[in-house]
Structure 1
Amino acid sequence: MSAVLDLDPQADGRTRVRLAELVALRARVAKAALPRLESRAMRAGQQSSRLYGRGMDYAESRVYQPGDDVRRLDWRLTARSGRLHTKLFQEEREGRLLILLDAHESMRFGTRVRLKSVQAARVAALAAWYAVRAGERVGLMSFGNGHRLLRPQGGTRGALAVCGALADWDADVRPVPGEPLSDALLRAGRLMHGANRVLLISDGLSCDEAARGRLLDLSSKAGIRVLVVADALELGMPPAGRYPMEHDGVRREVALFGERQRREFQQALGAGQARLNGMAQSLGLPHATVDTAADPLDTVMSLLAPGVRR
């Protein structure tokens, strides 16, 4: 983690991620009333381990079967029922959240308050503080700007590591070839390091049709949540007027006056978020959208709450 980034005048929290802001989000999560997260292997996408030993919790008892360990007989239930019963134990596992962050150039766009990339970093930081407060480990993987991975860590150190990585990775603006979402999901499936929850944060512009199958495959290993970050111009038809746009230092002006012209502009600009939201909806994955001007705290907490179905 590099606190010197806050001395960079470009790290203004609007066009560039500001580390101090990400760290300060800890206080907001600490004050929020959070539901208790489960951290057991029997969560969606996980199989329980019917073993016993250190780190094992009693799960249930069942009628004795040949081959069961006689040392684990449930004598009380055996005495009450008159039939031999065996205790079954479930392995206790620490919950792990992997944040999958879209860092394509398309994320460096915004017309209200901040860029999508900055809002995505705020969302990721809130999710990290939420996870560690609930006793989970948290890791971070980005795509669209190279293969970057921060393995899941626990406690305050884990959340601070995520915040530091978010600021460092945002400051590195070297051009890197893009990456379709399907490739990123395949890589995430190989590098999950035991994560049983995945939060995908993206604007959806890298979402390809092959991502559908990859999301489905990944959901068999972990609980998947999708949070789409969008600009106001991607979510609704813009008012008539002239809109200055800048890309790679080149400024241009887009004139939007006719209703059809404005509708087609919004549809083209918002195609990514509509595609990703539609895919998540069709697969039954919990999903939500947050715009660049919004406070994402309630959205993040609602989306990551246990048992969420949207």
Structure 2
Amino acid sequence: MSGLKLFRTDTTNSGMTEVMPRLAEIEADVQALVEAHMETLLGVRFLASEYSTGPAHGGRIDSLGLDENGSPVIIEYKRGTDAGVINQGLFYLAWLMDHRAEFEHLVRDRLGVTAASQVLWSGPRLICIAGDFTRYDVHAVREHRRSIDLVRYRLFGRDLLGLETVASVSGGVQVARRARRQAVAQSAADAQGAAMRELAGAVDEVLLGLGDGVNRVERKTYRAYQRLRNFACLCPPQRSKLLVYLKVDPKNVDLVPGFTRDVSGLGHHGTGDLEVQLRTLRDVERAQDLFRASYAAA
């Protein structure tokens, strides 16, 4: 991966051995590895491999999936660097938008009626996984009005896989800027009190400001903040508090009653096993290390 060096410690000789990165032998090896562990690697539930778009369209989508927020996902793979991967993916994304009923039927068959009824068509995604991308690729995805993730892979040794998000855009604009404007407009229309509006705006600003390429996905029951996967879900304000769910293992956190709670195994909106309860701006400051930890793990 770009700039990353991986070393294996030798406890016997107190030395270090560099684990050299490599590309897969063939593209299909990358595809098979990702499809077998798609939910762990990408936060996407696997639906189909080499999905035919029919004789009229004349193509096969490498992988189809559904992400944590119900958005349809197309994944295209290339062993090395290939300028055609983005255009190829966009070609299939256009087909998908014209065949929504077919996709929902596939979701119903694989994941059930409930999942099919909750497909979020406002934000279909394209994930391109390749050995590398050029600066022209990164520029190109920012010019499209689609949600596109460019992910660089490397294999290390016999049993290590590295994934690096090179670019992540939503709608072809600077997502953080647009999301901030949306947050202000939504907050102004919100019927909650001024304190809750201020609190929600502060949380939104902090989560969007954690790094480049943070996408914001609106669902009826929560707002997800996403890199390649969700790292935070913000629920609508309650009377006196906000609930944020993070992808942080509660076992690694000193839980504080009234502030943090282990909700693994408990039903709740959004994704994440750590619930953070926010009542004041000071709580937002207290939670920033947890926000960063969840962002880093996404």
Q: Give the alignment's TM-score, normalised by structure 2.
A: 0.30
Identify, as 1 or 2, the structure richer in helix: 1
Larger Cα-atom Rg: 1
